[in-house]
């Protein structure tokens, strides 16, 4: 019995040392790295880079007494501007969509706003002007006019030149990066819905149905997927809205 209870203590000690070595990492060597006393200079805006902001304004028909037609914007974004963005991805440094409807001089308008050289702007304008979808929408009366900025007369060289003048200069310069991402999200949602859904074959009815589905998706998912995560980036701080209330998303 005594021989059966004898334990090779050296083996136990070695096993304990091996197990301990698996659960506790050794301290790393001291590197002597210290935080820098100064930070590198921030990237400055360069108005002399030869890039400017350009507008392409699609003025939609909006009969009196009817609700504003929003679905043609999706058709233009998907079939006209999407291919332009795919083709000119390297030449458009910033871009976005803008939608508005008011009973004023501009009326129901969908705008494509982009930052590029005058040469790129001329190329983009020519492509949109000759697009078959644009010409069909004009002939059918959906699209009243397309208004282009003149590439021979560039203006708006600054990053923040198309932002709201009431914002701080920092927000004016930073916001174009945000809204470009949102515009790309909107376009990709249209593409996802168009590809995966069972839609009418007629283009106008097709995009009217997709517009309804996109509105439902915004209502159901926009609060968390967009507003909540935007709020998270800013540390869940309160935001002042039009009614001057403080909210977290």
Question: What's the CA angle centered on 135, arms 129 and 138, to 5 degrees?
Answer: 115
State the chain's mean pLDDT as an integer: 88
pLDDT tens, residue by residue, 185-204:
999 999 999 999 899 999 99
Coil vs helix vs strand at 41: coil
Using a 10 angstrom Cβ sphere, with 0-12 exposed, 13-18 middle and 19 or more buried, the burial of residue 160 is buried
Average pLDDT over residues 71-78: 98
Phi, psi of 94 (to 5 degrees): -145, 150
All domains in the chain, ordered by first residue: 47-189 (3.30.70)
pLDDT at 16: 47
Query: Residue 125 to residues 2, 50, 90, 110, 139: CA-CA distances in angstroms?
Result: 97, 18, 16, 15, 19
pLDDT tens, residue by residue, 115-125:
999 999 999 99
Q: What pTM, to 2 d.p., does this model score?
A: 0.82
């Amino acid at each position: 019995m005594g021989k059966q209870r004898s334990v090779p203590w050296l083996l136990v000690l070695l096993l304990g040392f091996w197990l301990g070595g698996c659960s506790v990492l050794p301290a790393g060597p001291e590197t002597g790295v210290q935080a820098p006393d100064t930070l590198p200079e921030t990237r400055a805006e360069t108005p002399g880079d030869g890039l400017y902001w350009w507008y392409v304004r699609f003025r939609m028909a909006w009969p009196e007494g009817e609700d504003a037609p929003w679905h043609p914007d999706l058709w233009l974004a998907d079939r006209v501007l999407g291919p332009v963005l795919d083709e000119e991805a390297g030449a458009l440094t910033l871009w976005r969509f803008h939608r508005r409807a008011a009973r004023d001089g501009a009326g129901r308008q969908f705008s494509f706003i982009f930052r590029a050289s005058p040469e790129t702007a001329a190329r983009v304008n020519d492509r949109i002007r000759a697009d078959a979808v644009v010409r069909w929408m004009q002939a059918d009366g959906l699209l009243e006019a397309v208004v282009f900025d003149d590439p021979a007369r560039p203006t708006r060289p600054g990053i923040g030149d198309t932002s709201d003048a009431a914002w701080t200069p920092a927000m004016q310069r930073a916001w174009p990066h945000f809204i470009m991402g949102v515009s790309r999200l909107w376009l990709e949602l249209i593409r996802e819905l168009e590809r995966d859904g069972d839609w009418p074959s007629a283009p106008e009815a097709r995009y009217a149905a997709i517009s309804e589905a996109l509105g439902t998706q915004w209502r159901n998912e926009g609060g968390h997927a967009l507003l909540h995560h935007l709020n998270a980036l800013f540390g869940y701080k309160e935001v002042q809205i039009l009614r001057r209330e403080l909210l977290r998303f």
